[in-house]
Amino acid sequence: MSRRSYQQGSRRGSLRRSIRRLWGFSWRAGLTLLVPLLGVVSWYVWQASKFDLALVKKMPARTVLIDRNGIEYGTIHGENRRLITDSEISSFLRKALFAREDSRFLEHEGVDLIGLARATVRNLKDRDFTQGASTLSMQLARNTYELREKKSLNRKFLEIALTYRIEANFTKDEILTHYLNRIYFGSGCNGIEEAALSYFGKPTSELNRNHCALLVGIIRAPHACSPWRNLKGALKQRDEVLARLVAIGELSEPEVEEIKGENLDLRNPNAEIVETSHGTRVMRRPLETVFDSSQIKEGGLKVITSLDIEVQYALENLVNTSVLPEGAQMAGLALDPRNGDILGVVGCREQRPTGFNRALDSRRDLGPELIEALINTASLERGHLPIKGNPVATGRQLGFNDASKLLRRFGLEGTFGNGDDFFRGTLSVSLLELATAYATILEGGSRPATVFIRKVESIDRTLFSRPPAIFPAFNDHAIPENLPVFFSGQSLSHADYWTVSLGKECVVATWIGFDQPKRFELTATSILRLSAAQKEISGANKNRQ
């Protein structure tokens, strides 16, 4: 072997040894780094596993009250939030949100590695956490679990671990929907539906492109750029969203100008919200009989009630404007005799009612004028002819025991007097019981089961449904003929004044008196006005002609 060949072989051997040493060092160094790296990853995976994934879609929201004609009239319980479904998110809203917050949302698995690398380089350059590279999924994780720790590697790693858990357990559509339901849009609006209704008076599904771009724009600064606080700032954010859509080729410049020209119709923040405190307050009690306290507190329900909002408003006006003796109270209730729907209820003359409702909770003596139709019905049921204008004589034909049993078929559950006092109307009834009793007469002896709530729905299913129920109370031959359309009278003590107005679709009953019973009289003018207004609500004159 020549010297030159030997030297070349020696160099090749040396190179191979160097490569082997370098490979061995790299392998050992990589293994040395990999072990702690796996430890760190395992630690954050373990930490993330402690969080309840059910919280991602569990958001306290307002329970919405709907009247029987589909009109919303109030909200109760929960946070100032309303939930939407995926189908209510328009394609433009999706595009605007992706363009502004997460352009690769449909491609990445929760963490945008390209964006994260770019942000990391920028943060190293700025020597601060100036860039976050948060995807929509990461923002959902941060907002769901309230990761409020100051920006740090610890918070970011935990956020990433939680994000991968969310992505593994929810679809992209679910993540997007939960995100829009959860985030804050300023001025007390949690979630996009509350923001859409508050700012523009429209549900999310009906927002135009101008609305969508503005709402997406204010996500990054909801307080400072709320359109009610800073419309100029909100419009600037909208313009940035539209510019981004142009930059990625989703819009043209002419389309941007067209969108800016769409009507914004920003609502006045001081505009009066149409809501009935009486109709809202009264629904708390029946809800508590259907659901437990945790379900009620969480809210987010849609309650289809029995109320007819027009009847409710008319009844409130009747109670508030009737001329009464000073200090007297008044309550009113309207009932659909055909199915038992409680169409309206007012428990006091105050604008903001308390838990005690005089239409439901108070029982007072009825009096001879109002008991007569009930005694006459019971008498006809037993084959006796009523003695007009004399409920005592009619009742004596039945006897107290039989008459009291028959009157309980009307749904009367209060205390009954004895003997002739009972036939003179000494029996305590609630306004609801009285309206039900006269509805039974009007319906030919069929007593409707009274209800406040027909159906309760969550965002994805029906939780409760109650169809109408009718109970036979009397034979139809027992119903008195030629019933008046209006009944009124006082108790024997003159401490309670009652009225009932009969319409085919609505029975209206009212009570007037003092909380501490005392004798009083109504003027003839007050009674005439009360009669006219009550007949108008019930439609008695129109329906009974």
Chain CA centroid to CA 329, Å: 31
Determine the average pLDDT of the residues in 59-87: 88
Q: What is the chain's length?
A: 545
Q: Which phi and psi angles does 521 have, rounded to 5°?
A: -130, 145
What pLDDT is attached to residue 129?
Answer: 45
Residues β-bridged to residue 510: 332, 499
What's the pLDDT tens digit per position in 269-318?
Answer: 876 454 568 999 899 888 888 777 666 777 788 999 999 999 999 999 99
What's the pLDDT tens digit per position in 406-463?
Answer: 999 999 988 999 989 999 999 999 999 999 999 999 999 999 999 999 999 988 789 9
Exposed (0-12), middle (13-18) or buried (19+): which is 300, by Cβ within 10 Å?
buried
What's the pLDDT tens digit per position in 115-148?
Answer: 666 655 555 555 544 455 689 999 999 898 877 6
Above 80 in pLDDT, residue 321? yes
What pLDDT is attached to residue 12?
Answer: 54
- Range list of H helices, 382-448: 391-398, 400-408, 419-423, 431-442
Above 70 in pLDDT, residue 43? no
What's the pLDDT tens digit per position in 510-519?
Answer: 999 999 999 9
Determine the average pLDDT of the residues in 376-403: 95
Percent share of the chain, pLDDT over 70: 84
CB 88 within 8 A of CB 177: no
CB 429 within 8 A of CB 489: no
409, 415, 421, 423 alpha-carbon torsion, rounded to 10°: -10
- Range list of H helices, 308-365: 309-321
Q: Which helix (H) or strand (E) holds 482?
A: none
Cα(418)–Cα(470) distance, integer angstroms: 30
What pLDDT is attached to residue 125?
Answer: 59
* Higher pLDDT among residues 8 and 196, named by residue: 196
CB 285 within 8 A of CB 353: no
Above 50 in pLDDT, residue 29? no
What pLDDT is attached to residue 14?
Answer: 56
Query: If you count DSSP H runs as helices and E runs as strands, how many of each does the chain have, helices first?
Result: 21, 14
Cα(507)–Cα(478) distance, integer angstroms: 20
Chain CA centroid to CA 62, Å: 4
What pLDDT is attached to residue 130?
Answer: 44
CB 322 within 8 A of CB 83: no
Determine the average pLDDT of the residues in 528-540: 93
Cα(56)–Cα(175) distance, integer angstroms: 9
What's the pLDDT tens digit per position in 225-261?
Answer: 999 999 999 999 999 999 999 999 999 999 999 999 9
What pLDDT is attached to residue 545?
Answer: 44
- pTM given for the model: 0.77
What pLDDT is attached to residue 442?
Answer: 95
What pLDDT is attached to residue 25?
Answer: 47
Above 90 in pLDDT, residue 28? no
CB 377 within 8 A of CB 480: yes
Percent share of the chain, pLDDT over 90: 64
Determine the average pLDDT of the residues in 369-388: 95
Contacting residues for 447 by C-beta, under 8 A, at least 6 apart: 409, 410, 411, 436, 439, 440, 470, 471, 472, 473
Binned at pLDDT 50, 70 and 90, residue 155 comes out as: confident
Contacting residues for 392 by C-beta, under 8 A, at least 6 apart: 368, 420, 423, 424
What pLDDT is attached to residue 17?
Answer: 55
Contacting residues for 294 by C-beta, under 8 A, at least 6 apart: none
Place of tokens 């919280």: 55
Above 90 in pLDDT, residue 401? yes
Domains and CATH numbers, the chain: 78-260 (1.10.3810.10), 311-457+465-543 (3.40.710.10)
Binned at pLDDT 50, 70 and 90, residue 157 comes out as: confident
Residues β-bridged to residue 241: none
What pLDDT is attached to residue 162?
Answer: 86
Cα(384)–Cα(380) distance, integer angstroms: 5
What pLDDT is attached to residue 544?
Answer: 47
